[in-house]
A and B are shown apart, each in its own frame.
Chain A
Amino acid sequence: MKLKLSKTITCDLLILGAGGAGLRCAAEVLEKKPGTKVVAVTKVAHPQKSHTSTAQGGLAAVDPKDPVDKPIYHMFDTWKGSDCMADQNVVRRIVEAGWEEILWLENRGMHFSRDMDGRLAKRTFGGHTVNFGEASAYRAVFEADRTGKGIMDTLWGEVLRGGISFLHQSMATEILFCGERCAGAVIFCQKTGEFVAVRAKATVLAMGGCGQVFRVTTNCRQNTGDHLALAVQAGLPVMDPEAVQFHPTGIVGPGILASETLRSVGGILRNRDLEAFMEKYAPKMKELAPRDLVARAIETEIREGRGVFNSDHGIEHVWIDLRHLPEHVHRTQIPEVASFFKKFVNVDSRKELCPIRPSNHYHMGGVPTSPEGEVLRDAQAIVPGLFAVGECACASFHGFNRLGTNSLLELITMGRFAGQKAMEYLQGELPDLPKDAGEKSFQVFAAYLQSQGPARLGEVREKLRGLMTEKVGVFREEKGLKEAVSQIVELKSQAMETPILTKELPMNQELVERWELDNLLSSAMLIAQGALHRKDSRGGHFREDYPQRNPEFDTHSLLYMDGFGEIRIEKKPVDMSLGKEGGPYSEKFGMIERKY
């Protein structure tokens, strides 16, 4: 079968990935420049199905009317939470823009939960404090326990009103360039089985995360690290790929997220002996300590034999105790999450202990960008016309550990910033597409279709995911990481021996999964190599052989992958402008100790 481009579409702005960040970017451009031709590509059946929709807890932003909370506290919490690896210029920009974004969403119809006066209700979340760690901050606005869905529905409505076009159930297989400048992308439309070239003045990567790289993950089926593979394919770097967050409370078994809200409303973690063990690990913040600390505490309990094993789940867990919470909390604040326990493990959270364990949740690392969301070619230069926002990007707002409720804040603020910056390109001419547009994709897909051999796609994928959870998970060390790297190389060659039985292109799920497997393998390689290189521990990256922070690694890593597994690493300094400017609290923004 000869693969070819079915057509070429032109537009002003091309958005690859139609989740929260991508659509906020689109909405900004459609609102400020009505009539702009925006095409958004979504891998799922409809943008409303995007992974953003599953975010539960809330959206952090400091209300200027708040009598105690201040933006500088939020900046400090983010910096401290990041284990001193967030870029402070980015932190400042996002935090300062937060409340404006909340009002933008509310005014456009998001159904935020309210207090008795009808104002936006707020709640606390792990790691968010006032007065530099003194007390918990009420900083997160929320829509019950479906905040992400509220954002997604609002954004979908706004871009519809603005006249966006969608390519549903489609994915970008190749970024196109005109010289140095991004010129668009090649899209594979799953339902029709057609390749389409899209020529655009500006292109935005908003493709989500890579959670499917791990066996136990809260991430949706489509989060296969496509953006990381696309970036390295285009010769672009990936920043801090080893910075992976494991959410402490995944529902054991399927890994489904049980929101931090459970702990913020008073849920208590207990081990096999029903001991409330967080007191040992974080005497002050206890259950509300940041996610990486809580995840390691749970893993330690399990490793030291204080976990619980039930053969139905096949993997050990601890408990979260919600039994003491008042009925109205169960009913109004955690109804959705509590229903997960009932639905997926058949447990009544009002009367029984609920089984949870750490589950891969979020990728802090990703495609490096400027504070405006422009993709970086190296530590300094940008790629003109190419942007990245949301989880797929790394500006870096979260450093090595993301605070709960900060991801939704990042999505919408960075989406807007990138939209504003992208508008500068919309005045100009459409760049030309390269003559060989699509050739790379055709080569790869043709090889998939012709592949012969004994391996099975699902088997290779599950081996990879098991390997990553075991050796590149919550705890890491040199020997295991080296084994992981060589096994990923071996799995890559096995992947090349997986035949595809569905030969026709329309809705060829096998073909898509085969492409995804390659992306998972590239993502796994980047994460494992990044983890091997960083010989210290910070945030979500924990090396048992180097359990402390080491000043030598107070820097971002940019990983380039020239051939599969051939990694080149450059350094990029962490922006510390808040500390250097000598403002009233500048001493809080040095390489501070991270204790909770």
Chain B
Amino acid sequence: MSDSYQITLKILRYDPSAKKRWVQQYSLQAGGIQRFTDLFRKINAEQDPTLAWNSSCEHGQCGSCTVKVNGRPLLACELLVANAVEAFGTSQFYIEPITVGPVARDLVVDLEPAYERVENLKPYIIKRKENIYGTGEYRIAPQEMEAYLEATRCINCFCCATACMSGPPNFLGPNAVMASMVRVLDPREEAVQERLRVLHGPRGVCRCHTSRACSHVCPKEIDVANFVALAKAAKPRGQEP
């Protein structure tokens, strides 16, 4: 099945020096199993070297290449041309940067403010529980890990935060909530109350409107909304209903 597609990409561009924003159209011929990152590279090589875009691993493990394609946040490296044509029912694609931080140029977004929101929720063990087994590893039964293992697969691609109707700056974001919930459920974490207080603080889960868009767009197919719901249900001491 060697297939070739005539593709049109309309890309929202931004020049930081002139502070200018415009839509530029590129037409190209592409194979069915080419990724959208391959298309950007092809544009750079054959048509326009000035188009800036972000990526790193280009196989869905790092979450650097998130863009919006026809309104949907996704990883450009995971979108194959044939699948895109089928899923969107068109060969014309409008591509724009995600909205979780300022645009540096074209499709490149400054992720620092987005990551700061995750860092606010302390993606580490704040205070270690005493290990009753002594100096070795903590013993954690696989069934116990099941409760939060899915959430550890998050790569902070910010697809969920882009799709979330209560996006930044008021809400810390679904991925940030999930990072904290991993440690709420992790039997090694002592500081569960501290976590719950922040999760139920002014930028916490009270901002969630339960649209479940986060789960819908997650490229890792994590049920993000489930972890946000768990956070809502786990009230800190003194705030129980």
B55 adjacent to A221 (CB under 8 Å) = yes
Cβ-based interface call for B223 (8 A):
no
Distance to closest chain A CB from B13 (angstroms): 12
A107 adjacent to B137 (CB under 8 Å) = yes
Instruction: Provide the residues of chain A in CB contact with B51, threshold 8 Å.
Output: 509
The listed residue (B2, B56, B80, B104) touching A44 by CB distance below 8 A is B56
Instruction: Provide the residues of chain B in CB contact with A154, threshold 8 Å.
Output: 124
Distance to closest chain B CB from A337 (angstroms): 10
A157 adjacent to B124 (CB under 8 Å) = yes
B125 adjacent to A510 (CB under 8 Å) = no
Q: How far is the CA of A254 from the CA of B45 in the complex (A)?
A: 17
A458 adjacent to B41 (CB under 8 Å) = yes
A256 adjacent to B59 (CB under 8 Å) = yes
Distance to closest chain A CB from B176 (angstroms): 13
Q: How far is the CA of A3 from the CA of B79 in the complex (A)?
A: 39
Q: How far is the CA of A114 from the CA of B112 in the complex (A)?
A: 34
The listed residue (A50, A311, A344, A506) touching B59 by CB distance below 8 A is A344
Count of chain A to chain B residue pairs whose CB atoms are closer than 8 Å in the complex: 184
Instruction: Provide the residues of chain A in CB contact with B141, threshold 8 Å.
Output: 114, 116-118
A107 adjacent to B131 (CB under 8 Å) = yes
Cβ-based interface call for A421 (8 A):
no
Instruction: Provide the residues of chain A in CB contact with B104, threshold 8 Å.
Output: 190-191, 506-507
Distance to closest chain A CB from B91 (angstroms): 18
- Interface size in chain A (residues, C-beta < 8 A): 71
B59 adjacent to A48 (CB under 8 Å) = no
Instruction: Provide the residues of chain B in CB contact with A143, threshold 8 Å.
Output: 152
Instruction: Provide the residues of chain B in CB contact with A508, threshold 8 Å.
Output: 52, 105
Cβ-based interface call for B21 (8 A):
no
Beyond A114-B141, A254-B35, A340-B59, is A107–B1 a contact (Cβ under 8 Å)?
no
Beyond A107-B128, A153-B123, is A53–B112 a contact (Cβ under 8 Å)?
no
Instruction: Provide the residues of chain A in CB contact with B152, threshold 8 Å.
Output: 111, 143, 150, 153
The secondary structure that dominates the A interface is loop
Beyond A106-B138, A459-B45, is A111–B62 a contact (Cβ under 8 Å)?
no
Give A253's nearest chain B residue, CB to CB: B33
Instruction: Provide the residues of chain B in CB contact with A593, threshold 8 Å.
Output: none
Chain B, interface residues (CB within 8 Å), range: 35 or more
Give A501's nearest chain B residue, CB to CB: B50
Interface residues of A in 122-173 (CB under 8 A from B): 143-144, 146, 149-150, 153-154, 156-158, 160-161, 168
A220 adjacent to B33 (CB under 8 Å) = no
Interface residues of B in 31-66 (CB under 8 A from A): 31-33, 35, 38, 41, 44-46, 49-64
Known: A44-B56, A108-B125, A118-B144. 13 other contacts (CB 8 A): A44-B62, A45-B56, A46-B112, A49-B57, A54-B62, A106-B138, A109-B189, A111-B149, A111-B152, A220-B62, A506-B104, A507-B52, A510-B50
Using a CB–CB distance below 8 Å, which chain A residues touch chain B? 44-46, 48-51, 53-54, 65, 102-103, 106-109, 111-120, 143-144, 146, 149-150, 153-154, 156-158, 160-161, 168, 190-191, 220-222, 253-254, 256-257, 310-313, 340, 343-346, 456-459, 462, 500-502, 504, 506-510
**Interface pairs (20), CB distance under 8 Å:** A45-B54, A54-B59, A107-B138, A109-B124, A109-B188, A114-B139, A114-B140, A119-B137, A149-B155, A153-B123, A156-B123, A220-B58, A221-B57, A222-B56, A312-B31, A344-B35, A344-B80, A504-B15, A504-B16, A506-B16
Using a CB–CB distance below 8 Å, which chain B residues touch chain A? 1-3, 15-17, 31-33, 35, 38, 41, 44-46, 49-64, 78, 80, 82, 104-105, 108, 110-112, 115, 119, 122-125, 128, 131, 135-142, 144-145, 149, 152-153, 155-156, 183, 186, 188-189
